[in-house]
Amino acid sequence: MRRATKKEPIVEIMFPFIISEKELQYFIDMVTRVKTSVFAQYKEEIKYTCGSMVELPRAAIIADKLAAICDYFSFGTNDLTQTTLGCSRDDSGRFMPVYLNKGLLKWDPFVTLD
């Protein structure tokens, strides 16, 4: 019987709806301050990373600047599509078949990115 090995947790802290690099830096700095205080208090550390959920068009446009600050991205394609088109996936179900049928769109933007 194999014994389970103890694994270190990998904590990923993700900041949603980021709109500027200063905002992202503010939150990363806040986490760093809290981490320093808590880790000093308990005399123990765990590894963690800080990332951004890119789910607003502005975040996608400044992704290069955000990438210089954080450890990783997660892309919220549904939110990006929704804010770009001004409708939700649920709402588009009412008219998307007509748009596709009439050739107003080549494909459903919630399925395929153009």
For the chain, give the mean pLDDT.
Answer: 90
Query: Can you give the residue ranges of every domain in the chain?
Result: 11-75
Distance CA 105, CA 66 (A): 31
Flag whether the pTM goes above 0.75.
yes
CB-based contact 38:1 (threshold 8 Å)? no
Tens of pLDDT, residue by residue over 53-70, are 999 999 999 999 999 999
When computed from its CA atoms, the radius of gyration of the chain, rounded to whole angstroms, is: 20
Tens of pLDDT, residue by residue over 66-106, are 999 999 999 998 899 889 888 888 888 889 999 999 999 99
CB-based contact 24:18 (threshold 8 Å)? yes
The pLDDT of residue 60:
94
Cβ neighbours of 59 (radius 10 Å): 26
Distance CA 93, CA 100 (A): 11
